[in-house]
Amino acid sequence: MTHRFLIDAQLPPGMVDLFAEIGASARHVTEVGLGAANDREIWLWARQDGVALVTKDQDFAGFSRHDPSGPPVIWVRLGNTTNRALRQAFAPILPLVLEALDRGERLIEVR
């Protein structure tokens, strides 16, 4: 199954490369004209485009709980960190995230 992702603004655009390394398609919000969009606009775009949303924003976890037709949310709950440390923490668990999506999970927390 091909997985597609939208990386939210609080995460670095370089996260796109991490997803590409495992064969997934990812775009950063700035690539699709949503760099200055509000949460609702991003949510609706992700739902319409059929992508999973990767975010540090707790609001999207709430949207996910109340809107079962919305996109899956990968909620990154790692604290403020360097891009390198974020990549080192996220890379090993990315296959587990993909497995959770394949099982139909809608809200996946990454700690």
Residue 1 has pLDDT above 90, yes or no: no
Residue 95 has pLDDT above 70, yes or no: yes
Give the mean pLDDT of 27-43. 97
Q: What is the mean pLDDT of the chain?
A: 94
Give the mean pLDDT of 17-33. 94
Q: How confident is the model at residue 109 (pLDDT cuts 50, 70, 90)?
A: very high
Give the mean pLDDT of 2-16. 94
Full domain range(s) for residue 74: 4-110
Give the mean pLDDT of 15-35. 95
What is the pTM (predicted TM-score) of this model?
Answer: 0.95
CB atoms within 10 A of CB 85: 12
User: What stretches of the chain show up as alpha helix (H) in DSSP?
Assistant: 15-21, 39-49, 58-66, 83-90, 94-102
What's the structural domain count of the chain? 1
| CA-based nearest residue to 32, from 19, 18, 17, 51 | 51
Domain of 40, CATH number, reads 3.40.50
